[in-house]
Structures are given as C-alpha cells and as structure tokens.
Amino acid sequence: MSRPAFNRAPWPATRLRRMRRDDFSRRLMRETVLTPADLISPVFVLEGKQRTEAVASMPGVERLSIDLLVREAEALARLGIPAMALFPVTPQEVKSLDAAEAWNPDGLAQRAVRAIKQAVPEMGVITDVALDPFTTHGQDGITDSNGYVINDVTVSALVKQATSHAEAGADVVAPSDMMDGRIGAIRTSLEQHGHIHTRILAYSAKYASAYYGPFRDAVGSAGNLGKADKQTYQMDPANSDEALHEVALDLAEGADMVMIKPGMPYLDIVRRVKDAFAVPTFVYQVSGEYAMHVAAFQNGWLDREKVILESLTGIKRAGADGVLTYFAKEAAQLLSR
C-alpha cells in the first residue's frame, strides 16, 4: 500500500479540525462507509418446528428451527443483508467418529438450505464445512487413536460434505476446518459434479483463539471437545506471515473469497491480506467478541448502538469487504434509520 505524500501547508494555513466542524463536511470526507450490504448474519438451526432455544453465553442469540429460520431469512432480506451463514446444532444421537451425518442429503443443514432458497431465493446462503458439529469428540476432523486429526482422511470427508451442500442449493461453501489441501479437493469435486457457480469462502487464517467458547456452546460441540484444543490445525495467534502463506495456498487452490477469524484482535492480519492479495476478504466478528460487547452493554459500560457500528466500521476500515457478525440484524436496523 503506497503511503500518502504529506505536503500540506503548516498550521495555521492547515487546520484539520475545519473539516471536522460540521456534520456535512465530516460526511463528505468519510473514508469508510458501512452499509447493510457489508453484513452477513450467522444463524444456528436446530431440529423441530416452531422451536427456539436461547444461547446462554450469547444473550440475544437464539437457535431456530427451520420454519422460524425461514422467517428470519425473510426479515434479513428486507433489511438489505445479502447473506446468512448457516450452522447446524446436530443432535447427539447422530454424532459419530466418522461424522457421516455431515454429508447426509437429508441432514439438518441440507434441509435448511433448501428451505431458505425456496422461500427467499435472493438470500445468499453460506454453509459451514467442518466436522466438529458431527463428531463425538468435537474436533474438526477424523482422529487417530491418539486424538490427532488426520488431514487427508478428513479432507475426503469435507469434500463429501461440501458437495452435499452444493447439491442442496448452497450458494457458498465455507471450509472452516483448516486442513491442508481441502480447498483444491473441494473445488475439484464441485467442478466434477457440475457445481461450477458454487463459491468457496475459505477460512484461510483461522486462529486457535480463546474467543470461540460461546460458539461451541451454541452448536453443541463444547461438551464433546472438553478440555482438548485445536492447536494442531488452527493457527498460532502469535503468527502473522503464516497467514499470508495460508491465503496464498487457498487462492491457488480455487478459493473465491478468504476469511480472517477472529476479527478485532486480528485486524493487522486483515490489512496485510487485503494489501497483499486484493481479493474479496471477509472477517468473522466471533462469538467471544459479541459476548464481551453485550456484557459491557448490559452493565452500562458502553453505548450499545454506537459501539456496534464503531466495531463493524473498524473491521471494514481495516480492509474487510464483509463481516460475519451476530449484530448483523441490529446493525442493519440502525443503519436504516
């Protein structure tokens, strides 16, 4: 990124506060503008009808049955939100060591995709490609006898999962597993099965973060994972250059978009990725970020409306083309005022 040439006249000929004095001039020179079109709403779907469950660690977020999720999709579309990211809450009885439920054509995610696309065809549907909601141990892949996630076996399972999502009508498949080589394998399968328009949003720089706890509660994998971690496949939070290698590999393998996750603690990574590759770059403002914001709001420590919009604007300013955020619906409502 080239640096601007600072050749302004010295004070008092230059007074930068002049342009800040009035609302009209502040708006005229605003460099980053947040709109509902920048937002993606992550949603949790569960079995049943007319059913909701509150996520205790994420106040204001609910798991929804498919019929209610369709109504939510309609509301999001009216607000101008272009896409939603779907995360299934898999019943414990269908979880297994091989995660076979992940590619069941009549699985929860696949049925939810079909229902949303039938009711709200203009809504972009993004599906999560990872095995943690489907494994009895809560890891994102298939493990050996020592609990180590086996890369290539897992990739084969992810290919079947992603292909089943495309066949159900998903617009975007989003591998969040961090296995090596999975983007290329998924792209090959999509092409071979005629899904040439299905986009891949690669979670390219997904860090082994402590900010994911509430999400694991929401999808029901926290209890299965227990005290284990995911450091053998998710990235070390201390690393930055490695993220560029991950992004480069995913793009070379056929990713259409890349993701950095989490958001606020990793905005330097967002900026580096956008400057280096200039490709569609997305950020996930994750469950832990949401939960700590809401806790501060509930305690009266922060102004809810202002902080929601400021946090999302900051992510976009860093280089994000779009943000997955649990504040998507509320932010869109605020922006429409």
Catalytic positions, written as ranges: 206, 261
Residue recorded with tokens 């937002």: 39
Residue recorded with tokens 């509902």: 36
- What is d(CA 292, CA 41) in angstroms, rounded to the nearest whole number? 18
Query: For 194, left (φ over 0), alpha (ψ -120 to 50), or beta?
Result: left
Burial (CB count <10 Å: 0-12, 13-18, 19+), residue 326: buried
Which pairs count as long-range contacts for 293-301, CB under 8 Å and 24+ apart, including other chains? Answer: 293/327, 294/58, 294/59, 294/60, 298/59
Phi, psi of 261 (to 5 degrees): -145, 130
Beta strands in the chain (DSSP E): 39-46, 52-54, 62-65, 83-88, 124-129, 172-175, 199-206, 257-261, 281-285, 322-325
- What is d(CA 58, CA 219) in angstroms, rounded to the nearest whole number? 12
- Token pair for 35: 């709109």
- What is d(CA 160, CA 153) in angstroms, rounded to the nearest whole number? 11
Question: If we measure between CA atoms, which residue out of 116, 112, 279 comes closest to residue 199?
Answer: 279
